[in-house]
Amino acid sequence: MNLSQCKIIDLPKVTDRRGNLSFIEGNKQVPFEIKRVYYLYDVPGGESRGGHAHKSLQQFIIAASGSFDVILDDGFQRKSYQLNRPYYGLYVPPLIWRELNNFSSGSFCLVLVSDLFDENDYIRDYETFKEMVKKGELRNIIKN
């Protein structure tokens, strides 16, 4: 995978004077079936989250409230996205290193994922990730 496959996806936005509504349906607004949802909140100032890649898991990351930055890395280049609106999110395919930081006070990060939790799906060491990219080992993971 490479960073060109990561993208911001706009969500439907139904505006109303009483408040706006956005929705997400698996395999429609996001390119996968949603099997799990998790969220991050009360992240202390200066802390970061993420710091890993997934072998097969796909994610869709939304700033449901507040803002934060998502730094993505495919082993060759890095790209940063600031998420700060609840009506769009960032699609992250497998085999992309991700870090989340610069959380605003009261921010709420909502993450929709394509599979249930599996510790074996994680690559948690950045140097290992870069070495796997360099050796072409990640291409083998995609084929299996």
CB 43 within 8 A of CB 103: yes
- What local confidence, expressed as pLDDT, does residue 82 receive? 98
Amino acid at the residue 74 = D
Average pLDDT in the chain = 93
DSSP 105-119: TT-EEEEEESS---G
The predicted model gives 39-58 an average pLDDT of: 93
| CATH number where 14 lies | 2.60.120.10
Q: Is the pTM of this model over 0.75?
A: yes
When divided into structural domains, the chain yields a total of 1
Active-site residue flag, 54: no
pLDDT digits (tens, 9 = 90+) for 30-43: 999 999 999 999 99
Q: Which domain, by its residues, includes 56?
A: 3-143
pLDDT digits (tens, 9 = 90+) for 72-106: 999 999 999 999 999 999 999 999 999 999 999 99
- What local confidence, expressed as pLDDT, does residue 142 receive? 56
Q: Which of 35, 49, 52, 130 is catalytic?
A: 52
Of 29, 36, 110, which Cα lies nearest the Cα of 70?
110
Q: What are phi and psi of 100, to 5 degrees?
A: -120, 130
| Window from 17-21, 42-46, 78-82, 125-129 with minimum mean pLDDT | 42-46
- What local confidence, expressed as pLDDT, does residue 144 receive? 46
Q: CA 124, CA 144: separation in Å to the nearest integer?
A: 20
End-to-end CA distance of the chain: 14
Angstrom CA distances, 84 to 1, 9, 37, stand at: 25, 13, 19
The answer to whether residue 1 scores a pLDDT higher than 90 is no
- For residue 109, what pLDDT band results from cuts at 50, 70 and 90? very high
